[in-house]
Amino acid sequence: MQVSLNHEAAGGAAPDAAEARLLAPLLALMSQSQQGFALFDEHDRLQWANPVFREILGLRPDEFPSWPDLMRLGWMREKGTQVVTDDFEHWLRSAQLRRGKLPFRTIETSLMDGRWVMTTETTAPNGWMLCVISDISELGRDWRVLRQERDQARKAAFSDELTGLSNRRYLLENLRRKLGPHKASAAAVVLLDLDHFKQVNDVHGHEVGDVVLKHFAGLLQAEVGRQELAGRLGGEEFLLVWDIGDTSLLRARMDRLLERVRQSSPAYQGGVLRYTCSAGVAQALPGESEAQLIRRADAALYQAKQQGRDRWVLADATAVMPERRGSRSQRATPD
């Protein structure tokens, strides 16, 4: 088997002669292994997979989907991971929020065909990921059930039940790590609030309101990379954490996001409903805490609401708001 790798794309230096001689034998052994091996790029798109990985996930040799599309293909083909849910996209958002956020992670799950597998994810600083799947079906059933219940409890502790995004606790813990003294400070926080959301609940009912919240969550999930975060703080308030230091790129992403919201409309039994959102954006300053960063984004969001909604405002780097008690809704912020 002849194999070539793009080391520059993978974020590594070109191999020396000794390393180059090892690449083909290494990939040949991985191709023949009884474990599943796969390599995903920083955009979470499959770049290489051995036959066992493809067999487990139900992929054809010519398919190189993104991870979300890989999961969707398995769901439609009844292959790969067994997903017990009434809302597959909700499950997928919840699964994505934890994928690639740690340098190493182990997951155990059952397959559609009844096998029990352990998957390890090793993520490089540049976002590339190596996935290894091992069949552990011989483990006792009681032991497997206990471990699955443990994993489900972990998921529930960090996920928002309605939208499947990260919850407030998970968001703040991860933002704190990003802003630590030895971490990269090229981060931007986007605090978003749905415009006139109370009217949606009052006019159409809370069930339609939940449809809007889940629809908006899906739009936000599509706007974050592997090292970034999307979550719900509570009510109609959401938070994005982007790895952006360039202001022009930040402006382009925000304009694109708000335009996507304007052009999208969730369907419900009564028809379709259009909505907008407002946002406050703050770029992290050296030594700034997560509370200070969010307060500056909060101030910018308040300005966006005051200026007419359906817009975003970039926080002044010199204007750090004093900490105030209560949520934004308790501070009489315009809806």
Angle among Cα 225, 170, 127 to the nearest 5 degrees reads 25
Backbone Cα Rg of the chain? 22
Q: Specify the DSSP class assigned to residue 45.
A: B
Residue ranges of alpha helices (H) inside 15-82 are 17-32, 51-57, 67-77
How many C-beta atoms surround the C-beta of residue 77 within 10 A?
Answer: 12
Which among 198, 196, 243, 235 has a CA at the least distance from the CA of 217? Answer: 235
Does 290 qualify as catalytic in the annotation? no
How many C-beta atoms surround the C-beta of residue 80 within 10 A?
Answer: 22
Q: How far apart are CA 75 and CA 71, in angstroms?
A: 6
Q: Specify the DSSP class assigned to residue 316.
A: P
Beta-carbon contacts of residue 37 (< 8 Å; ≥ 6 apart): 30, 49, 50, 52, 53, 130, 131, 132, 133
**What's the start-to-end Cα distance of the chain, in Å?**
61
* Per-residue buried b or exposed e for 133-142, using 16+ beta carbons within 10 Å of the residue's own CB: beeeeeeeee
Q: How far apart are CA 163 and CA 247, in angstroms?
A: 29
Cβ–Cβ < 8 Å for 272, 265: yes
Provide the pairing of β-strand 271-272 with 267-268: antiparallel
Cβ–Cβ < 8 Å for 265, 199: no
Pick the catalytic residue from 236, 237, 288, 290: 236
Cβ–Cβ < 8 Å for 79, 57: yes
Q: How far apart are CA 154 and CA 151, in angstroms?
A: 5
**Residues with a known catalytic role:** 236
